[in-house]
Structure 1
Amino acid sequence: MKPYYQTENDAGLFLCMQQDDPQAFEEIYARYFLKLSNTAFKRLQDREMTEEIVQDLFVNLWLKRHRLPELKNPESYLQTLLRNAVIDWFRAQARQDGFAAEWLAQPDRQVVNATEQQILYADLRQAYESTVDQLPEKCRQVYALHQQGQSVADIADQLQIAPKTVESHLLKAHTTLRHVLKDFSAVSVALLNLLLG
C-alpha cells in the first residue's frame, strides 16, 4: 500500500473510498477492525459473533460508500454503526425462542427465559424513549445529535453553543437516563449501555 494512505487522515480516506478507491478502504479496515472488534467483544462476549458483526459492518460500509453522509468524525460514525449493529443483534436474539441460552446462563445474567427478556427489553426501550422525550429541549437536541455520531465540537458549532455546554447537556442526559432506568435487569442495563454509548 502506498505511504499516502497510511498518513492520510480518516476524513480523507473516507472521501477516497467514496470515490471507489479500494486502497483507502483497506487502510480504514486496517485502522479500525481491531478497535471495533475489541469494543464489540466487550459487549457480546462472543468472538465468532464479534467477527461476523464487524466484518458485515465493513462490507456494508463499502457497498454503501456512495450514500454515506458528509463525515467530520469518521471514527465516531463507525462506532455508531457498530453500536447499532450490536443492538440489532440483541433484538434478533430476543425474537428467537432460545434467546442466547448460553449468554443468559452466565452467573450475572439474571433473566429467567426468553419471554421475560423480551418483555424486559420492551419495557426498557419504552422507558428509555420516554425519558429522552422528557429531557429539556436543548439537552434532548444535543443528546440526539450525539447519538447520530456527531462530535462535541460539531454539535457546538451547529447549535452555536460552547463545547462545555454540550458536554454539560450530555452529562445531564446520561445521568438522568441511568438514574431513571437503574432498576432494570442486568441484561437490560447492558442494552442500555449500548444505547448510551
Structure 2
Amino acid sequence: MKRYYQQEEDIGLFQRMQQDDPLAFEEIYNRYFLKLSNTAFKRLQDREMTEEIVQELFVNLWLKRHRLPELKQPESYLQTLLRNSVIDWFRARARQDGFAAEMLAQPDRQIVNATEQHILYADLQQAYESTIGQLPDKCRQVYALHQQGRSVADIADQLQIAPKTVESHLLKAHQTLRHVLKDYSAVAVALFNFVF
C-alpha cells in the first residue's frame, strides 16, 4: 500500500489528506520534510529552531487540512508556508531583542525607524530588481522560472537545456545577488530573500 502512495503525485496526496487519509499525509511529510528543513536552515542557521518550525508547519497542515485552498502547485504552497513561518521567526526575534519595547517607549523614534526601514527596503528592492535586470538573458529566464516554484527538471525541459546548466545559471544568479546585496543588513536581506 505504501508503494502506491510513493508513486502518487503531490496533488493526489493532498486531496487524499484532505479526506482524512493519514498515509497520504505521512507521504507528504516524508517527501518534503528534508527539503523544507534545508531551505529553512539556510535562513535560520539554527538546527533546533529549523526542526521546530518545520514540524509545526506539518502539524498545522494536518490540522487545517479541511480548509486548504485548491492546490495546483502543492510544493509552492509548502514553500510559501515555510517562508511565512521564517519571517514570523525573524520578527519575533527582533521583538525579543527589545526592539518593540524601545519603539513603544519612543513613539517619535518609531516613526523615524519606520521611515528608515521603508527607505532601506525600497533601496534593497531597487538594487534587487536592477541586479536581476543585468543578468544574462538565459540566466535571468532560469532564475525567474525558479522563483515561480518551478523545479530544475521542469526548467530544463521547458528551455531545452541540461539540468546542470539550469543549476549553473541559478548559482550565478544567487552569487551575483549576494555580492550586490552584501551591504544591507543580514535580517533585511533574509526577509527580502523570502519575500522574493
TM-score, L = length of structure 1: 0.64
2:83 alignment partner in structure 1: 84
Asked if 1:15 corresponds to 2:15, the answer is no
Q: CA separation in 1, counterparts of 2:147 and 2:61? A: 18
Query: Any conservation in 2 of the 1:83–1:194 contact (CA below 8 Å)?
Result: no
Asked if 1:64 corresponds to 2:68, the answer is yes
Asked if 1:140 corresponds to 2:140, the answer is yes
In structure 2, relative to structure 1, the CA distance for the partners of 1:34 and 1:12 (3 Å cut) is closer
Q: CA separation in 1, counterparts of 2:93 and 2:172? A: 33
Which of the two has higher C-alpha Rg? Answer: 2
Q: CA separation in 2, counterparts of 1:139 and 1:13? A: 28
Query: Any conservation in 2 of the 1:53–1:85 contact (CA below 8 Å)?
Result: no
Shift of 1:148: 2.1
Shift of 1:170: 0.8
In structure 2, relative to structure 1, the CA distance for the partners of 1:70 and 1:178 (3 Å cut) is closer
Asked if 1:186 corresponds to 2:186, the answer is yes
Shift of 1:63: 3.1
Greater helix content: 2
Give the fraction of aligned pairs with identical amino acids, expressed as a percent.
48
Query: Any conservation in 2 of the 1:152–1:163 contact (CA below 8 Å)?
Result: yes
SS at 1:100's partner residue?
helix
Query: Amino acid of the residue matched to residue 63 of structure 1?
Result: R
2:103 alignment partner in structure 1: none
| Aligned pairs for 1:104-115 within 5 A | 114-115=113-114
2:106 alignment partner in structure 1: none
Q: What are structure 2's unaligned runs of at least 5 residues? A: 100-108
Q: CA separation in 1, counterparts of 2:155 and 2:43? A: 27
Asked if 1:152 corresponds to 2:152, the answer is yes
Q: CA separation in 2, counterparts of 1:132 and 1:60? A: 37
Asked if 1:31 corresponds to 2:25, the answer is no
Shift of 1:178: 0.8
Higher relative contact order (CA 8 A, sep 6+): 1
1:131 alignment partner in structure 2: 131
1:102 alignment partner in structure 2: 96
Q: CA separation in 2, counterparts of 1:125 and 1:40? A: 22
Q: CA separation in 2, counterparts of 1:184 and 1:10? A: 44
Report the RMSD for the aligned CA atoms in angstroms.
Answer: 4.1
Give the length in aligned residue pairs.
177
Query: Amino acid of the residue matched to residue 144 of structure 1?
Result: A
Q: After superposition, what is the alpha-carbon deviation per residue over 1:56-81, rounded to whole angstroms, capped at 9, x for unaligned?
A: 4565665335x22256xx4xx36522
TM-score, L = length of structure 2: 0.64
SS at 1:22's partner residue?
coil
In structure 2, relative to structure 1, the CA distance for the partners of 1:6 and 1:61 (3 Å cut) is farther
2:102 alignment partner in structure 1: none
